DNA sequence: CGCTTGCCTGGAGTGCACTCCAAGGTCATA
DNA sequence: TATGACCTTGGAGTGCACTCCAGGCAAGCG
């Protein structure tokens, strides 16, 4: 029913990203080189989308096997986790690309990145508030339809 | 920054919809016939979009002036308020059209409508949870960028 | 060796939700 | 009464985020 995201993300292993201690990544496997289809399975994104993310610069160049096939690292998976989170805040892909560029530019962009994240945080809070507002409306309407199988005062706003 | 909705909704007068008592609508004006541009101003939707909503069946035929111009009623505005709420849950327009059709079919569809609203409610709860999860990630990253203008442990996931 | 499966590329196509256009009719104000 | 802002229509165009396609390479298996 939902448009944006969250459609099919089967087992998006939610690992903590960028937290305190070095934390090794408890990925499904113990190694560090995943094929595109494995990554597709982990993240719920299609292989098409993964290649597309790379093309548009949302992911920096992925390591390759000796025959040119992509080999994703745990680092790449972490990044995809973050992208997934940002995606479901409604952030446009172009903005995520901008963030990726800042990352590639190095430490000098720390404050820019922070700002971007804080703006996103504000958006998320606003969206949560909106959704809670919507929830209230839904509850009111549901209880209207629930209270009486048939009208109690005719059709108000439908 | 946001894609979905919430871009420009200047003064979307939030009135309670379909609640208990008949409640008159404290609309900006005291009457019941608004031009399309007035409605655009109230709802933040463009006139184009309002006409389009009508074309696709998201709104039942709007009353017309003697010369054929649209005259929206308070009932129509209430409906648009609901549509706005549903829209920012991420519900596809097609589903809203489906709901509108159920409404047009009359009282016999009460339970279908209720089901649809309850499914939407579940979606909204899930989305709120996702967003709170995302918020946690953002906070962790923000505090990483905040704690030190420069790296404390190098770039983890970026 | 042939077959199947998986991956590669650039570019074209899709679906959604608008958004705009052209050509014309209407309305309020100076 | 004329000017300009506003409204009408069907249909075409836009932007985003994928999604798919054709044509081809590479590895594993009976």
pLDDT, averaged per 10 consecutive residues of chain B (158 residues), comes to 33 31 50 93 95 96 95 95 94 96 93 94 95 96 76 46
Check whether residue A1 and residue A46 sit in a common domain.
yes
Any domain includes A157 = no
Residue of B91, B98, B131, B139 for testing the chain A interface, max A β-carbons within 10 Å? B131
By C-alpha distance, the chain B residue nearest A92 is B3
Check whether residue A89 and residue A49 sit in a common domain.
yes
| CATH classification of the domain holding A21 | 1.10.1660.10
Check whether residue A98 and residue A137 sit in a common domain.
no
CA distance B88 to B127: 11
B147: contact with A, CB 8 A cutoff: no
CA distance A39 to A13: 11
Provide the positions of strand C that have an atom within 7 A of a protein CB: 6-10, 16-21, 25-27
Domain carrying residue B45: 1-105
Check whether residue A48 and residue A125 sit in a common domain.
no
- pLDDT tens for residues A34-46? 999 999 999 999 9
pLDDT-based confidence at A145, cuts 50/70/90?
A: confident
At A148 the pLDDT is 57
Check whether residue B99 and residue B49 sit in a common domain.
yes
In this complex, the answer to whether residue B38 has its CB under 7 A from any atom of chain C, a nucleic strand, is no
- Judge whether B135 and A124 are in contact, CB under 8 Å: yes
Count of domains forming chain A = 2
Residue of B20, B44, B79, B145 for testing the chain A interface, max A β-carbons within 10 Å? B145
Any domain includes A70 = yes
Nearest to B57 by CA among B6, B94, B92: B94
Check whether residue B45 and residue B92 sit in a common domain.
yes
Kindly give, in sequence order, each residue whose CB lies less than 8 Å from that of residue A158, ignoring residues fewer than 6 positions away.
Answer: B18, B79, B82, B100, B103
């Amino acid at each position: 029913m939902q448009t944006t995201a969250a459609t099919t993300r089967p087992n998006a292993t939610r690992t903590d990203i960028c937290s305190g201690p070095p934390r090794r990544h408890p990925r499904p496997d113990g190694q560090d080189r995943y094929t595109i289809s494995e990554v597709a399975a982990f993240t719920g994104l299609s292989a098409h989308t993964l290649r597309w993310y790379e093309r548009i610069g949302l992911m920096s160049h992925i390591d390759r096997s000796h025959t040119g096939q992509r080999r994703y690292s745990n680092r790449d998976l972490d990044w995809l986790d973050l992208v997934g989170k940002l995606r479901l805040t409604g952030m446009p892909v172009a903005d995520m690309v901008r963030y990726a560029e800042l990352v590639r530019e190095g430490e000098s962009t720390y404050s820019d990145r922070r700002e971007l994240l804080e703006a996103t945080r504000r958006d998320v809070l606003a969206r949560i508030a909106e959704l809670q507002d919507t929830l209230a409306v839904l509850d009111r309407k549901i209880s209207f339809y629930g209270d009486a199988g048939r009208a109690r005062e005719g059709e108000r706003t439908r």
